[in-house]
């Protein structure tokens, strides 16, 4: 008989837990004092993901999930970890539009072995061999209804840029991601005509609004606090952050028109020594019940379509995936950003400081 500490038994425990998760079944197989570190954007994300993913994974496997808040743009840190093999976390949230094409092209992602045919209820664009999207979010315009009556505030990015008709303190993201698209939309470019982005035209549009921007936010938590506290009157922010401000009692209204939606989900930095446990965690997050569980805390839509069977209609109407909301939005081009992200980011950072 093998001893409790021998490698054969440890491997059996690993395999048993992984198979149970892959089949969507609870398991009585317990792992031995192991953990993974998972990074997310913090705030309401951590609360929602703890309930939907972290705690259920711990209960199913005995593998502890330690969560840490990541930077709002984690690609540089992700790349540095892979290159230096200094893995400060094992799984992180990344976006399908801005992050995954670049990291895949650079060979930075740990193979997970995901196949779309194994997850027929998932949105097809939410899955690649090395990535699992779990929520749909949108970058939207939001404004304070104690500054503008609901329905009488800015309804488009052209309105946001119109400082005479819509006076107030403004806030944009300190990143070219979404901000360049918003600048072009403000300048009259249609949602379906954005790509390839006319970068020179976007910066000319940004030149017009720059003197009127009171705050350039760098994290979702900062953006939520700014609109919730009344530090700013209108903002470009993620819909979940705006919804959290509303649920905290702030007089905030979300404008879905000209929103830019994307898919956020899990990827693993290539080479992490805890890759096996990380892969098991990612697979669990495809489950419909698990995805439904985060929507009552985090106002983002699930990628598993069966999750809607367990989401109350009133809540579903507040999500980006509600048909009435989604019809006025579009998905930014992953291919364009994969090709141009580095150069455009350098130009944007220099412009901000100029």
Per-residue pLDDT of the chain (354 residues; tens, 9 = 90+): 333 333 333 333 443 444 344 444 444 334 445 999 999 988 888 999 999 999 999 999 999 999 999 877 799 999 999 999 999 999 999 999 889 999 999 999 999 999 999 999 999 989 999 999 999 999 999 999 999 987 899 999 999 999 999 999 999 999 999 999 999 999 999 999 999 999 999 999 999 999 999 999 998 889 999 999 999 999 999 999 999 999 999 999 999 999 999 999 999 999 999 999 999 999 999 999 999 999 999 999 999 999 999 999 999 999 999 989 999 999 999 889 989 989 999 999 999 999
CA angle 113/270/125 to nearest 5° reads 45
Q: Which backbone phi and psi does 266 adopt, to 5 degrees?
A: -105, 140
Supply the pLDDT for residue 29. 39
Q: For the purposes of burial, counting CB atoms within 10 Å of the CB of 9, is it exposed (0-12), middle (13-18) or buried (19 or more)?
A: middle
User: Residue 252 and residue 274: Cα distance in Å, rounded?
Assistant: 42
- Rounded-to-10 torsion of CA 49, 50, 51, 56: 110
Three-state SS for 159?
helix
Supply the pLDDT for residue 33. 59
Q: Do the beta carbons of residue 188 and residue 251 sit within 8 Å?
A: no
Q: Which two tokens stand for residue 31?
A: 């792992």
DSSP alpha helices (H): ranges in the chain? 7-22, 44-49, 55-61, 75-84, 100-105, 157-161, 179-186, 199-209, 220-229, 239-247, 275-284, 288-294, 313-316, 323-326, 334-353
Cis peptide before 196 (omega within 30 of 0): yes
CA angle 43/112/293 to nearest 5° reads 35
Measure Cα distances from 196 to 76, 180, 189, 299, 344 in Å.
24, 11, 11, 30, 13
CA angle 266/44/176 to nearest 5° reads 65
Q: For the purposes of burial, counting CB atoms within 10 Å of the CB of 320, is it exposed (0-12), middle (13-18) or buried (19 or more)?
A: buried
Q: Which two tokens stand for residue 325?
A: 């909301």
Supply the pLDDT for residue 3. 38
Q: How many residues in total does the chain contain?
A: 354
Q: What is the DSSP letter of 205?
A: H
Map out the domains of the chain with their CATH numbers: 7-136+263-316 (3.40.190.10), 137-262+322-345 (3.40.190.10)
Count the alpha carbons within 13 Å of 239 in the hemisphere toward its beta carbon: 30
User: Residue 228 and residue 143: Cα distance in Å, rounded?
Assistant: 10
List 89's β-bridge partners, or say none: none
Q: Do the beta carbons of residue 54 and residue 24 sit within 8 Å?
A: no
Q: For the purposes of burial, counting CB atoms within 10 Å of the CB of 249, is it exposed (0-12), middle (13-18) or buried (19 or more)?
A: exposed
């Amino acid at each position: 008989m093998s001893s409790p500490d021998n490698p054969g038994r440890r491997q059996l425990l690993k395999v048993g837990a992984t198979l149970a998760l892959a089949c969507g079944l609870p398991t009585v197989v317990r792992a031995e004092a192991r953990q993974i570190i998972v990074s997310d954007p913090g705030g309401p994300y951590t609360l929602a993901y703890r309930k939907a993913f972290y705690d259920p994974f711990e209960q199913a496997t005995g593998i502890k999930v330690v969560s840490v808040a990541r930077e709002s743009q984690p690609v540089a840190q992700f790349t540095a970890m892979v290159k230096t093999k200094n893995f400060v976390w094992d799984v992180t949230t990344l976006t399908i539009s801005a992050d995954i094409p670049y990291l895949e092209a650079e060979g930075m992602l740990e193979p997970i072995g995901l196949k779309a045919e194994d997850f027929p209820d998932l949105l097809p664009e939410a899955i690649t061999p090395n990535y699992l999207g779990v929520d749909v979010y949108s970058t939207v315009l939001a404004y304070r209804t104690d500054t503008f009556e609901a329905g009488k505030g800015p309804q488009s990015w052209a309105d946001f840029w119109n400082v005479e008709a819509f006076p107030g303190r403004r806030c944009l993201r300190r990143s070219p991601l979404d901000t360049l698209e918003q600048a072009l939309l403000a300048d009259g470019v249609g949602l379906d005509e954005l790509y390839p982005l006319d970068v020179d035209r976007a910066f000319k549009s940004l030149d017009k609004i720059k003197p009127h921007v009171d705050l350039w936010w760098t994290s979702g938590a900062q953006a939520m606090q700014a609109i919730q506290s009344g530090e700013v009157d209108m903002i470009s922010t993620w819909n979940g952050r705006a919804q959290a401000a509303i649920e905290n009692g702030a007089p905030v209204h979300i404008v879905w028109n000209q929103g830019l939606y994307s898919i956020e989900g899990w990827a693993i930095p290539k080479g992490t020594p805890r890759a096996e446990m990380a892969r098991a965690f990612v697979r669990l997050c495809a489950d419909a019940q698990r995805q439904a569980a985060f929507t009552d805390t985090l106002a983002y839509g699930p990628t598993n379509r069966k999750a809607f069977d367990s989401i109350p209609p009133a809540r579903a109407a507040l999500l980006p995936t509600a048909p009435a909301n989604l019809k006025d939005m579009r998905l930014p081009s992953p291919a364009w950003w994969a090709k141009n992200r580095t150069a455009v980011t350098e130009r944007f950072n220099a412009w901000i400081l100029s």
